[in-house]
Amino acid sequence: MREYLLQLKTQAIELWQKMTKTQKIIIGCSAVLLFGTLILLARGATKPDYGALFTQLDDQQAGQIVAKLKEKKILYQVSDTGGTEKGTTIMVPSKDITQTRLDMASEGLPTGGVVGFESFDNTKFGETDTDRRARYLRALQGELTRTIEGMAEVEKARVHIVTPEPSLFMDQQQNATAAVMIKLGPNKSLEAGQVKGLVKLVSNSVEGLKPENITVVDMAGNILSEDIGSDEESRSQKLTVTQNQLQKQYQKEMQNSVQSMLERIVGIGKAVVRVQADLDFDKIQEKSELYGNNVVRSKQVNEETSKSTTTDNTGVPGTDSNIPGYVTGGGTGSSDKTTSGTITNYEVDKTETVKDIAPGSVKRLSVAVVIDKVIDAKQLGDIENAVKNATGFEQTRGDQISVAGMDFNTEYQDQLKSEIAKAEQRQQMMVYGGLAALALLIISGVVASIVIKKRRAKAEEAAVVGEFVTPLPVDEFISTEPVLSQEEKEQKRMKDQVEKVAKDHPDDIAQLLKTWLAEE
């Protein structure tokens, strides 16, 4: 074994001495490069693998966390978050990430960059009412920020509250205002109901703050709370939007129904239908009273009879009737009186009907139909009747149906088809060209492999002839022309001639390839 090693050493020294200066430089540089690579690999293997502990931290949060990491003697790295996101990223060894996060969470870190009501845990000596009010306002803003950031769609938030000083005069008292800036997560958005809930949250958290005095904006400066008005206004807006959606949906369904019917008759794409419907969204309540035949409920009959006697006290004209004590003859009489009456009470037959008419009925309907051909009067009438029956046409509502036949303009479709055909032709030519290039590449590879095999065979023959041959310099080896046979020289000459023709006349070569492919 020892003799074998000594023999290898001797052969290596002899080989080194036989090398040229250029070869020695190449081998030396390769050895240095290999040694440096090994050092870097060894250093990377011993270096701890770092992972992100917290990202997108502001300077205050990053400073608090770094101080805790130094206190606990944990290795860390600080870098910018990078990309479009702003903030600082703190990285620690991957094996310590989970435990470090738990330790930081137990100490209330990160705080989110805001201060909440925990600031009142410690009483400050000599604090005035103004200082305490400012600290309370800051704590309230911090608590609202944390609450808003708890929403799934919100990534970060900032809350600003302005509370004016109390005034002795009511007409001079100003209202509190608030502004909320939110940063939404990727591909996230807030619906109108969520924005309204956010406004209510802030309004009910601040004394004297009205919802109309709260502004919510996103990072792009778009006002999200602009359409959030009073309850009545909000309901009116929602109702209007819903009515428009219902009207568009009704028109679309009616249009698709008539379109599909006509396409079965005249062919797909040969008919165009447009529907305009006016829907009545008024809610109507009808109340009617119907009176029937009279029915006797009760009947009362009254009858009264009376009898009276009368005396005639009239005298005879003259002195006889005026003399005192003189009695004259007089007469008496009697009379009978009967009175009767009937009172009849009737029961009235009354029917009361209350009917609520739901909104959404069709007030007026207009339909326009155009057919892609000239049609006669009979076909026109048949199509019009079919459309009327399909749409529920009513003359009393003022509905209108228009049917016309004319040739459609197909210039755009024809141009589009022509461009598509040209694009397909270009794509086909590219495919054929690629196949031709691939075939040429394969042929060149086969020829090159044959040449390489022959060169190797000749090199092996030369190595057998002389075991110890002084290696040629690199420059001479590169510049030495291989010895080619007569057949190889002929192939090389033909290849050079083809390449020259292809460079001088590329269009002719391309046309030749197209002809070959077409023949195949």
pLDDT recorded at residue 134? 86
**pLDDT tens-digit map of 156-166:** 888 999 988 87
- Find the mean pLDDT for residues 257-276: 90
- Find the mean pLDDT for residues 346-370: 78
CA distances from 63 to 53, 54, 145, 208, 251 (A): 14, 12, 20, 37, 62
pLDDT recorded at residue 468? 44
- Find the mean pLDDT for residues 409-437: 83
pLDDT recorded at residue 380? 87
**pLDDT tens-digit map of 92-118:** 888 888 888 888 877 767 766 566 776
Sign of the dihedral through C-alpha 225, 226, 231, 234: negative
- The answer as to CATH 3.30.300.30 being correct for domain 118-229 is yes
Q: Which of 353, 344, 267 is nearest to 300 (CA)?
A: 344
Residues composing the chain: 520
233-298+342-408 CATH, one of 3.30.300.30, 3.40.50.150, 3.30.2010.30, 3.20.20.105 = 3.30.300.30
pLDDT recorded at residue 370? 92
pLDDT recorded at residue 87? 66
Q: Read out DSSP for 288-312?
A: EEEEEEEEEEEEEEEEEEEEEEEEE
Q: Using an 8 Å Cβ cutoff, are 308 and 349 in contact?
A: no
- Find the mean pLDDT for residues 501-507: 71
| Residue of higher predicted confidence among 233 and 129 | 129
In percent, how much of the chain has pLDDT > 70?
Answer: 75
Q: List CB contacts of 107: < 8 A, sequence separation 6 or more.
A: 68
Position 272 pLDDT exceeds 50: yes
In this structure, the strands spanning 176-184 and 209-218 are parallel
pLDDT recorded at residue 519? 60
Position 478 pLDDT exceeds 50: no
Position 456 pLDDT exceeds 60: yes
pLDDT recorded at residue 214? 92
Q: Which of 166-175, 181-190, 222-231 has the highest mean pLDDT?
A: 181-190
Q: Which residues of 21-37 are buried (b: 16+ CB within 10 A; e: fewer)?
A: eeeeeeeeeeeeeeeee
What is the domain partition of the chain in residue ranges?
1-40, 50-112, 118-229, 233-298+342-408, 488-517
**pLDDT tens-digit map of 392-405:** 888 888 899 999 98
Kindly report the CATH class assigned to 50-112.
alpha beta
Q: What is the pTM of this model?
A: 0.37
Tell me which DSSP letter residue 125 carries: T
pLDDT recorded at residue 51? 79
Q: Which regions of 83-223 does DSSP assign to beta strands (E)?
A: 88-93, 154-162, 176-184, 209-218
- Find the mean pLDDT for residues 309-319: 59
Rounded Cα distance between 48 and 389, Å, is 80
On the question of a common fold for 118-229 and 233-298+342-408, the answer reads: yes
Categorize the per-residue pLDDT at 331 as very low, low, confident or very high, splitting at 50, 70 and 90. Answer: low
Rounded Cα distance between 343 and 298, Å, is 8
Position 463 pLDDT exceeds 70: no
Q: Which long-range contacts (CB under 8 A, 24 or more apart) does 1-7 make?
A: none
pLDDT recorded at residue 368? 93
Position 477 pLDDT exceeds 50: no
Position 237 pLDDT exceeds 80: no
Q: Kindly report the average pLDDT of the chain as a whole number.
A: 77
